Amino acid sequence: MDFNMKKLASDAGIFFTRAVQFTEEKFGQAEKTELDAQFENLLARADSTKNWTEKILRQTEVLLQPNPSARVEEFLYEKLDRKVPSRVTNGELLAQYMAEAASELGPTTPYGKTLIKVAEAEKRLGAAERDFIHTASINFLTPLRTFLEGDWKTISKERRLLHNRRLDLDACKARLKKAKAAEAKATCEGDTVPDFQETRPRNYILSASASATLDDTSRPPSWAEWKEDYPGGWRRPCFFLVPLNPSVTRARGCLSLPKDRKLWNDEADKAEQELRVAQTEFDRQAEVTRLLLEGISSTHVNHLRCLHEFVESQTTYYAQCYRHMLDLQKQLGRFPGTFVGTTEPASPPLSSTSPTTAAATMPVGPSVAGLAPPGEAALCLEEVAPPASGTRKARVLYDYEAADSSELALLADELITVYSLPGMDPDWLIGERGNKKGKVPVTYLELLS
């Protein structure tokens, strides 16, 4: 393992500098470089897109698979990069139970026949549901997951790098500010020449030896020289002599003021160079992050296309369900005596049915109780004459296929003439279109005044 101690120490120093800068910013003790308003708007839009995409993804998964245990199982299979096993849908499981019940209770009885027919319809519904889940997962859920697990992780990584570059830039600014302040302070101290008299005790009078010592720039006064001036045992003073000429050093080991100014000048130059480098890196990272954030618009366009595909697949699924149930209802209507309808009419009489109510009612098909018994099948519709009064115009809301010759096939949006005959079920009317005549369900019509 290649262990680079210098790199480790450098990374630790950078981390510590960023931590100090971040802490000072939180306490309001350091300046912070603010991003422009457009960049902030891009960041806010990206965060909003990520949050709402996560919510839509989770709720769509709940819609397609309400069972939480099944969702966890599918998640584990995806993480393990294994194929999710095929699972029986609820409709297919219900169809299996109904078929087994019909086989055990008697497939030739009316109840058994009805169970078989309903089982076949439920099986078709389950297959349609399986196709819808598969299509929605590919066309809608997969693009959302790709964005969250791919594009968004890249954006988050670049944003973290931008945050670090910003901390480095602000730290360099603070370092340069301190160096400039120290340089200015050293310059001010160099311009003010201190008085030597202020650096010695008030009762101290320079002797000849001390004066000679001051002229000697090679060393500070010795203890013997101080003792000669103070025979009474004056304690050795704890101070340094300050030179009258700032360019001359009077005490060994002390830096002169010009040298201090040069040191701070070098420090300021170094801080300026580091600031330029940090500014360049910050600008480059900000541009990369901006380009990624502007790509959110392309993500919205892609998600919009996926949303249209999801709606189309859902529309197809519900249309298939409606078609299967309508076929099932027609099949059940051909079994006379399979079950007895209620004695009350399933819908209000024709005279009390308003056009608004008829238009708002979804077609659920005619009730079996309203079908003519076998004895009435010989009714000749050609011999039926419309009443002198009571005929009305009606607009067809949905297509309807005639189950037998006594019914009239309908096409959506066409106009027909309808009327009722005494003794007819209120769910049915006699419809005429040209020279064709037959029974039509009321729920498929919008009666016009």
Instruction: Convert the pLDDT of each residue in 209-254 to its tens digit.
Output: 444 444 444 455 554 554 555 455 444 444 444 444 444 443 434 4
DSSP state letter for 148: I
* H-helix or E-strand spanning residue 396: strand 392-396
* Model confidence at 118: pLDDT above 70: yes
The per-residue pLDDT for 179 is 83
The per-residue pLDDT for 177 is 85
Contact between 418 and 445 under an 8 Å Cβ cutoff? The reply is yes
Read off the pLDDT of each residue in 431-442 and give the average, rounded to a whole number.
90
Our CA dihedral for 159, 164, 168, 174, rounded to 10 degrees, sits at 90
The per-residue pLDDT for 260 is 64
The per-residue pLDDT for 235 is 45
* H-helix or E-strand spanning residue 395: strand 392-396
The per-residue pLDDT for 381 is 58
Residues facing 45 on adjacent strands: none
The per-residue pLDDT for 298 is 93
> Which single residue is written with the structure tokens 């997962």?
137
* Model confidence at 140: pLDDT above 50: yes
Q: Provide the CB-side half-sphere exposure for 329 (13 A, CA).
A: 18
Encode pLDDT of 281-339 as tens digits: 999 999 999 999 999 999 999 999 999 999 999 999 999 999 999 988 888 875 443 33
Rounded Cα gap, residues 428 and 320, in angstroms:
25
Instruction: Kindly report the backbone phi and psi dihedral angles of residue 183, in degrees, each rounded to the nearest multiple of 5, phi listed first.
Output: -65, -40
DSSP letters along 41-67, please? Answer: HHHHHHHHHHHHHHHHHHHHHHHH---
Which two tokens mark 73? Answer: 């199982």
* H-helix or E-strand spanning residue 112: helix 110-136
Rounded Cα gap, residues 164 and 284, in angstroms:
13
* Model confidence at 360: pLDDT above 70: no
Which residues have a Cβ under 8 Å from the Cβ of 332 and sit 6 or more positions away?
A: 114, 117, 338, 368
Which two tokens mark 372? Answer: 């003519």
Pick 367 or 97 by higher pLDDT: 97
User: In the chain, what percentage of residues exceed pLDDT 70?
Assistant: 69
Lowest mean pLDDT among 23-27, 166-170, 311-315, 395-399: 23-27
The top-scoring range by mean pLDDT among 63-77, 294-308, 397-411 is 294-308
* Model confidence at 24: pLDDT above 90: no
With 0-12 CB in 10 A as exposed, 13-18 as middle and 19+ as buried, what is 394? buried
**Confidence class of residue 75 from pLDDT cuts 50, 70 and 90?**
confident
Helices (H), 204-256: 208-215, 223-229
Contact between 326 and 125 under an 8 Å Cβ cutoff? The reply is no
* Model confidence at 161: pLDDT above 80: yes
Helices (H), 192-256: 208-215, 223-229
The per-residue pLDDT for 378 is 42
Per-chain mean pLDDT for the chain: 75
Q: Which residue type sits at 240?
A: F
The per-residue pLDDT for 403 is 85
Q: Provide the CB-side half-sphere exposure for 376 (13 A, CA).
A: 10
Pick 147 or 388 by higher pLDDT: 147
The per-residue pLDDT for 361 is 41
Closest CA to 320 of 91, 27, 54, 65: 91
Rounded Cα gap, residues 444 and 397, in angstroms:
5
Q: Which residue type sits at 248?
A: V
Read off the pLDDT of each residue in 145-159 and give the average, rounded to a whole number.
93
The per-residue pLDDT for 146 is 92
**Confidence class of residue 42 from pLDDT cuts 50, 70 and 90?**
very high
The per-residue pLDDT for 224 is 55
Contact between 416 and 440 under an 8 Å Cβ cutoff? The reply is yes
Would you mind telling me the total number of residues written for the chain in this entry?
449
The per-residue pLDDT for 380 is 57
Read off the pLDDT of each residue in 267-279 and give the average, rounded to a whole number.
87
* Model confidence at 379: pLDDT above 90: no
Neighbours of 261 (CB within 10 A): 18
Rounded Cα gap, residues 284 and 168, in angstroms:
14
The per-residue pLDDT for 374 is 40
Read off the pLDDT of each residue in 250-277 and give the average, rounded to a whole number.
69
